[in-house]
Amino acid sequence: MSTKTAKSTPGSTNGSRPGLDPLRPVTVPDFAGAKARGIRLTMLTAYDFTMARLVDAAGVDSILVGDSLGMVVQGKPVYHTRLVVRGVRRALVVADLPFMTYQVSPQQAVESAGRLVKEGGAHAVKLEGGVRSAAAIAAITGADIPLVGHVGLTPQSVRRLGGFKVQRDAEKLIEDALVIEAAGAFALVVECVPTDLAARVTAAVKVPTIGIGAGPQCDGQILVTPDILGLFDDFRPRFVKQYADLGQAVRKAVEAYCGEVRDGSFPAAEHGFR
């Protein structure tokens, strides 16, 4: 965890419901203990310094360096984690373990998680899967690396699951959640699960559940930042709410810039030096 003092950040209280302390860096125990205090947790993704700085300053409790940005292809999770950590003063930074960096053996899982923490500076790691990942989770938490689990729709298994589909197998989901908790995870992402079933998972575990497409009864929520900002509009899943249209703002700004360069109105006299 960063030892820097957090800036005064707005927005970590939500209406009448309290949030985590906006003035202190969020720790793993703060995050894990929020459920018992009735605090809803906020989490967003970031992959670079600029976005990490912006979402952190706006008061999000935790940032996931998710492999939603195709980090599996780029293969640079440590690099992206380092950029994000550098931009963050308060949020808890969780780094995703990419596909095939933890599936081979518990030893491989500990080594990969260790790199994200030691070289990337992550405060915690996340990996996908319940029963099938139990040995990896136990090995990582046994090495004292804080870990977030991920059940329901697990994007790294999308081929086996037959696509991005809502996951409805209640028995399996609850078993996976309990196994992850028993293996030492301090929180659990629950993705694309019917609202009632996500509520059952949330009631079954003591650690906070962080929902994405899993309804309002999870202990917190995560969304992919480019989705809520309107920066990625090829495909918008039903569970995404778009809070801004930065894609449109970027297009307009770039068109204006190109137009002015072409017609000679930029740069003007005030943009030059004497």
Contact between 67 and ligand KIV per CB under 6 A:
yes
The CB-of-61 to ligand KIV minimum distance in angstroms stands at 14
Whose Cβ is closer to ligand KIV: residue 6's or residue 91's?
91
Q: Are 201 and 151 in contact (CB under 8 A)?
A: yes
Contact between 62 and ligand KIV per CB under 6 A:
no
How many Å apart are CA 266 and CA 257, to the nearest integer?
A: 8
Per-residue string for binding with ligand KIV, 175-194, x by CB under 6 A? --------------x-x---
Q: Which of residues 7-36 bind ligand KIV (CB under 6 A)?
A: none
**Interface region with ligand KIV, contact rule CB under 6 A, candidates 66-74, 141-149, 193-201, 261-269:** 66-74
Catalytic residues: 191
CA atoms within 13 A on the CB side of 274: 2
Contact between 222 and ligand KIV per CB under 6 A:
yes
Q: How many chain residues bind ligand KIV (CB under 6 A)?
A: 11
How many Å apart are CA 101 and CA 262, to the nearest integer?
A: 49
Q: Are 177 and 153 in contact (CB under 8 A)?
A: no
- Residue 116: CB partners within 8 Å, gap ≥ 6? 77, 78, 81, 95, 97, 122, 125
Kindly tell me which residue out of 63, 85, 212, 218 binds ligand KIV, with binding defined by CB under 6 A: 212
Chain residues binding ligand KIV by CB under 6 A are 45, 64, 66-68, 96, 189, 191, 212, 222, 224
